Amino acid sequence: MTDYRIHGATGEWEVVIGLEVHAQVTSNAKLFSGASTEFGAEPNSQVSLVDAAMPGMLPVPNAECIRQAVRTGMALEARINPWSRFDRKNYFYADLPQGYQISQLYHPIVGEGEIEIWLDDKDEGSAKRIGVERIHIEQDAGKLMHDQHPSFSYVDLNRSGVALMEIVSKPDMRSPEEAGAYVRKLRAILRYVGSCDGNMEQGSMRADVNVSVRRPGGGLGTRTETKNVNSVRFIMAAIEHEANRQVDLLEAGGAIVQETRLWDPDKCETRSLRSKEEAHDYRYFPDPDLLPVELTDDFLLECRASLPELPDAKRRRYEAALGLSAYAASVLTADVITARWFESLLEQLGEEHAQRAGNWVTSDLFGALNRLGKTIEESPVSPAQAAELLRLTAEGTLSGTLAKQVFEIMLETGEDPAAIVEARGLKQTSDTGAIDAAIADVLAANPDKAAEYRGGKDKLFGFFVGQVMKAMQGKANPGVVNELLKKALS
């Protein structure tokens, strides 16, 4: 793949990117309390006395949050640490009731792993492996609202204490595209594993973006961290803006300050938070309210056993075992919902038809859904109905054209294809009598053209086919039509 470079006035610059992705763990209850994690509830209605840090309240860890972090680590082929521990990160803020965040600094639950990204869906050669430094578990903070009152900010603690996985990459990315591919791939894996719903609009996934620039191959530059960027598009835009800002600054003889910045989606730029930042010193130390997390072999076995087939493995199987194109395989496995839809279709159609089914889903179905602005979950056509449609075509009951007609009706009415074919008599016919009659009419109606054809103007054949098909309302079997026309015209 061609290297991404920023062409500055003084020459080329390479961009070095690392991401810290905060992913909300899918769980019913919070990390250390029994309060619900449901999104969008009344303010402070999902807050326990623990989440509100009332005096004397104590944390008790939620097993499912530990389990999901471990399963995620396994999905990233990462080292799982059978002994990990919670630490306190101390700082004051209105959304942090305890005055500290329970996190894992010294002994995270998951160590080094890897994620393979593809920059081009069609091209295996565009694959690149991005290192994962660690995954640790920590508490989310509450929510502050600044626009409700002239002199007050309002605090809602519903999110306070919800479990997050912080997935820290190595500084292995070199372009906004790589960062985008990394986040999309990570999101896909989390959704396959079921450890995070990946819903960026609801804040289930946010990224802290670390960017620095350097002369190609040179030593690492000073990095900045842009916090809480909440969409793939914004992450890519933030990197591009920040990298260019740094290049301009350096080329103007300035220096980069290691600092925390904020992404402004409206102005589409990053801004320094230095203003409100006095020297941070988080004073991490082991949380004395909690004991170390020690994972048993049984626990680890269950985590491993409960992992589904992951996108990479699925993609390879679709190519190797089902004979799908690299493109179809990667599109069909990109999201767990699509893969599930496709596999339930195959279950009913039979894997021997995988290629046709794959093409149909990636072209016909996706085309239609795009047109209707619907996701595959909202598809008016069920996998079972799609299987039936493809079977009818395979049997020859429907021609390609008829199949498209039937599919359109299915999209509108949601009816089963067989019923549609029955009701509207859309069966394809090979009835030679009817076809011969139609041919006779067409030839009678176009004697001059028939003469030209017989006189050697072969390309008129297509015209006659079209006319006959038209006369048959498209229901005639094209093969039979060709055969009988040739006879009639010879």
Partner 1 sequence: MNLTDLGIAAIRDGVRDGAFSAREVAGAFNAAIETGRALNAFTVETPEHALAAADAADAARASGDLKPLSGVPLGIKDLFATRGVATTAGSRILEGFEPRYESTVSANLFAAGAGMLGKLNMDEFAMGSSNETSAWGPVLSPWRRSDGGNAPLTPGGSSGGSAAAVAARLAPGVTGTDTGGSIRQPAAFVGITGIKPTYGRCSRWGVVAFASSLDQAGPMARDVRGCAILLEAMAGFDPKDSTSLDLPVPNWEAALSGDVRGKRIGIPKEYRIDGVPEEIDRVWEKGIALMRDAGAEIVEVSLPHTKYALPTYYIIAPAEASSNLARYDGVRYGLRVSPDNGNLTDMYEATRAAGFGAEVKRRIMIGTYVLSAGYYDAYFNRAQKVRALIARDFERVWGECDLILTPTAPSAAFALGEKSADPIAMYLNDVFAVPASLAGLPAISVPAGLNDEGLPLGLQLVGRALDEQGVLNAALALEERAGFTARPEAWW
Partner 2 sequence: MSVDAATVRHIAKLARIAVSDAEVEALAPELNNILGWVEQLQEVDIEGVEPIPAVIPNSLRLRDDEVTDGGKREDVLANAPAAEHGFFAVPKVIE
Q: How far is the CB of 246 from partner 2 (least distance, A)?
A: 23
| Among partner 2, Mg ion, partner 1, none, residue 100 binds (CB under 5-8 Å by kind) | partner 1
In the region spanning residues 258 to 277, those forming contacts with partner 2, defined by CB under 8 A, are 262, 276
CB contact at 8 A, 215 and 247: no
Q: Does 166 bind Zn ion (CB under 5 A)?
A: yes
Give residue 409's identity as a one-letter amino acid code.
I
Residues linked to residue 209 through DSSP beta bridges, in sequence order: 19, 226
- The smaller minimum CB distance to partner 1, of residues 53 and 262, is found at 53
Between CA 461 and CA 488 the distance in angstroms is: 11
Binding residue for Mg ion, selected from 1, 6, 8, 20, defined by CB under 5 A: 20
Stretch that binds partner 2, among 22-30, 132-140, 305-313, 439-447 (CB under 8 A): 22-30
H or E stretch at 301: helix 297-305
DSSP symbol at 51: T
Q: Which stretch binds partner 1 (CB under 8 A): 94-102, 161-169, 201-209, 375-383?
A: 94-102
Site track 199-238 with Mg ion (rule: CB under 5 A), x = hit: ---------x------------------------------
Using the rule CB under 8 A, which residue among 28, 49, 457, 483 binds partner 1? 49
Q: Residue holding tokens 């509830």?
A: 41
Partner in contact with 36, chosen from partner 2, Zn ion, partner 1, none, beta carbon below 5 to 8 Å by kind: partner 2
Residue 274 is given by DSSP the state G
Q: Which distant-in-sequence residues (6+ apart) come within 8 Å of 7 by Cβ? A: 13
Q: Does 58 bind partner 2 (CB under 8 A)?
A: no
Asked if 92 touches partner 2 (CB under 8 A), the answer is yes
Instruction: Quote the CA–CA distance of 23 and 390 in Å, as a whole number.
Output: 39
d(Cα 185, Cα 353) in Å, to the nearest integer?
28
Instruction: For residue 44, give Cα distances in angstroms to 35, 47, 52, 157.
Output: 10, 5, 9, 5
| Rounded distance between C-alpha atoms, residue 88 and residue 98, angstroms | 10
DSSP conformation letters of 66-100: HHHHHHHHHHTTPPB-SEE--EEEE---TT-TTSE
Q: Which stretch binds partner 1 (CB under 8 A): 130-138, 172-180, 239-247, 286-294?
A: 286-294
Q: Which of 1, 41, 57, 273 binds partner 1 (CB under 8 A)?
A: 57
Is 100 a binding residue for partner 1 by CB under 8 A? The answer is: yes
CB of 221 to partner 1, least distance (A): 24
- Give contact residues for Mg ion (rule: CB under 5 A): 20, 208
- Give contact residues for partner 1 (rule: CB under 8 A): 49, 52-61, 88, 90, 92-94, 97-100, 153, 155, 281, 283-285, 288-291
